[in-house]
């Protein structure tokens, strides 16, 4: 059955792959983005997927944006919380602004978007919320106390909200990607990247479409008995 889906950070990288995977399965997809108008326009022209601009860390903007989407396309039944940023440094050097901005967007965005969409899903008796965490939220990472804390928080958020939604037909799950060949990873110095790949048992970076396939499954009817779970897609780099 075709549904209306919103993918935050949905016009680039992993988000773009997710948007395309959901569209390929017949859903009406709306990609949210935060800043790059040129790339968002190019994305829409290339894919036919509309892109709506708002800051997921802004609570009122999320409420207004989701209301506009619902009025235009219909009730939102699938939410993918993918938007995220990094502001890496050791705690010794990290500013409060760098801590707060990562928490505001990466974790606060999940709350804001769920607040805007979960009540409708609950009332209609069907919904899918998929939150994109990270291997670094599971295992930690040097120089990322802000990012690791936010992503770890996403996994706890997922488990708690899953308990609220279960009896109403709303599932809430997470995916924890490992290192994926996106622009964010491409910015890592080559010497550092080589060390990262050396620690991945399958011997390579992941591909964005591999994360997207996981999202597509969790958004489907086939995943109706799966909630509160985290799907780790990391090439075997972290297992627990």
Give me the pLDDT at residue 188, please: 79
Mean pLDDT computed over every residue of the chain: 95
First to last CA, the chain: 34
Q: What is the pLDDT of residues 208-232, one digit of tens each?
A: 999 999 999 999 999 999 999 999 9
Look up the CATH number of the domain holding residue 72: 3.40.50.720
Q: What is the pLDDT of residues 37-93, one digit of tens each?
A: 999 999 999 999 999 999 999 999 999 999 999 999 999 999 999 999 989 889 999
Mean pLDDT, residues 99-126 taken together: 98
Q: Is residue 141 included in any domain, yes or no?
A: yes
- Domain span including residue 136: 4-233
Q: Is residue 238 included in any domain, yes or no?
A: no
Q: Which residues are catalytic?
A: 147
Strand partners, 18: none
The number of distinct structural domains making up the chain is 1
Helices (DSSP H) in the chain: which residue ranges? 13-24, 37-47, 59-73, 96-102, 108-124, 135-139, 145-165, 183-186, 190-198, 208-218
pLDDT bin (cut points 50, 70, 90) of residue 126 is very high
Give me the pLDDT at residue 5, please: 98
């Amino acid at each position: 059955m075709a549904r209306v889906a919103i993918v935050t950070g949905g016009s680039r990288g992993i988000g773009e792959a997710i948007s395309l995977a959901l569209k390929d399965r017949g859903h009406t997809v709306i990609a949210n983005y935060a800043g790059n108008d040129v790339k968002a326009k190019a994305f829409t022209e290339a894919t036919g997927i509309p892109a709506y601009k708002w800051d997921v860390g802004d609570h009122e903007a999320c409420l207004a944006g989701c209301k506009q989407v619902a009025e235009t396309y219909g009730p939102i039944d699938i939410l993918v919380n993918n938007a995220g940023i990094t502001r890496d440094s050791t705690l010794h050097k990290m500013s409060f602004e760098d801590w707060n901005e990562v928490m505001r967007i990466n974790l606060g965005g999940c709350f804001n978007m769920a607040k805007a969409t979960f009540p409708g899903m609950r009332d209609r008796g069907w919904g899918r919320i998929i939150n994109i965490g990270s291997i670094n939220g599971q295992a930690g990472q040097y120089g990322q106390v802000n990012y690791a804390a936010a992503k770890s928080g996403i996994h706890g958020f997922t488990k708690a909200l899953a308990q609220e939604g279960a009896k109403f037909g709303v599932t809430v799950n997470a995916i924890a990607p490992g290192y994926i060949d996106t622009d964010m990873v491409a910015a890592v110095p080559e010497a550092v990247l080589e060390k990262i790949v050396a620690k991945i048992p399958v011997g390579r970076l992941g591909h964005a479409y591999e994360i997207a396939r996981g999202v597509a499954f969790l958004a489907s009817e086939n995943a109706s008995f799966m909630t509160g779970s985290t799907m780790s897609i990391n090439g075997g780099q972290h297992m627990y």
